[in-house]
Amino acid sequence: MASSPLRFEVNSPNRVEQRLRIVLLGPPGAGKGTQAARVACRFGTPHIATGDIFRANVASGTELGRTAQEYMDRGDLVPDEVVIAMVMERLAADDCEAGFVLDGFPRTVTQAEALDRRLVEQGSPLHAVACFDITEDELLRRLAGRAAAQHRADDAEQTIRHRLEVYSVKTRPLIDYYRHRRLLTMVDGVGKVEDVTGRILTGLPSSNGGRDPALALAV
Ligand code: ADP
């Protein structure tokens, strides 16, 4: 395909070769993991999911896993300094030169500020933050389904309610944080998986400052 004026050029029907640095934001159960994997695949960037990294560390019994487990099981956030150190190390890996899709980080303003500092130092700021818009009823329904399917301790009903409260208090302020920085796109998180992916891609900025619906066509 001929090069376009877009920042994220489409080189083949299924692949975008330009770097993309994006954060997916949203409450537990909003579909961040599913969508992050699809967007990362589409752009050929790593999908960095802090929850998955923690669960892998719990499973292999590392010190990080032991530290994180008690917080996760209660539905609390792992302390900022632990998460920030882990993500900064991950972002230093070579594969992140291709960009990244962050899923589950940042979750607090302190984490967002640490991410900003790192990316500014590197001269490679975020392109976009997509935040899922979804009702609490829909979240509770999905999380109950996930608890049954995946046996995640933190998907027990009591813990789910606590995680939603934690989201409201600690993570929701990031919506304004990124809105002020003109990075935020709200995405309707209800509907078919591929439709939601299309909405995320449609909301990405293009170099002419507009939105690029053409990107959604090749999902
Ligand atoms: P979900 O988005 O469905 O809540 P995740 O898999 O993203 O699930 O996260 C699971 C748990 O891992 C969180 O409830 C929290 O305990 C921990 N965790 C993940 N990311 C972070 C983060 N950025 N800061 C603090 N804790 C985190």
pLDDT in tens, 97-155: 999 999 999 999 999 999 999 999 999 999 999 999 999 888 888 888 877 777 777 77
Is there a contact between 33 and 48 (Cβ–Cβ < 8 Å)? no
Band of residue 208 on the pLDDT scale cut at 50, 70, 90 = very low
Amino acid 158: pLDDT: 81
Q: Is 107 a catalytic residue?
A: yes
pLDDT at position 212 over 80: no
**33 burial class (0-12, 13-18, 19+ CB within 10 angstroms)?**
middle
Mutate to test the pocket of ligand 1, among 52, 74, 78 (most ligand atoms within 8 A of CB): 78
Paired tokens of 71:
């917080």
Ligand 1: nearest atom to the Cα of 143: 3
pLDDT at position 59 over 80: yes
Phi, psi of 9 (to 5 degrees): -80, 140
Amino acid 157: pLDDT: 79
Task: Quote the ligand 1 centre to 164 CA distance (angstroms).
Answer: 11
Band of residue 18 on the pLDDT scale cut at 50, 70, 90 = low
The mean pLDDT value of the chain amounts to 86
Tell me the C-alpha distance between 26 and 24, whole Å: 7
User: Strand runs (DSSP E) across 151-191, as ranges?
Assistant: 184-188
Amino acid 101: pLDDT: 97
pLDDT at position 42 over 80: yes
Annotated catalytic residue within 21, 38, 142, 163: 163
Q: Is 32 a catalytic residue?
A: yes
Least-confidence region, from 3-12, 168-177, 204-213: 3-12
pLDDT at position 38 over 70: yes
Q: Is 179 a catalytic residue?
A: no
Ligand 1: nearest atom to the Cα of 166: 14
Annotated catalytic residue within 74, 146, 172, 211: 146
Q: Is 146 a catalytic residue?
A: yes
Amino acid at 206: S
Phi, psi of 51 (to 5 degrees): -60, -45
Ligand 1: nearest atom to the Cα of 52: 6
Q: Is 152 a catalytic residue?
A: yes
Annotated catalytic residue within 7, 74, 152, 179: 152
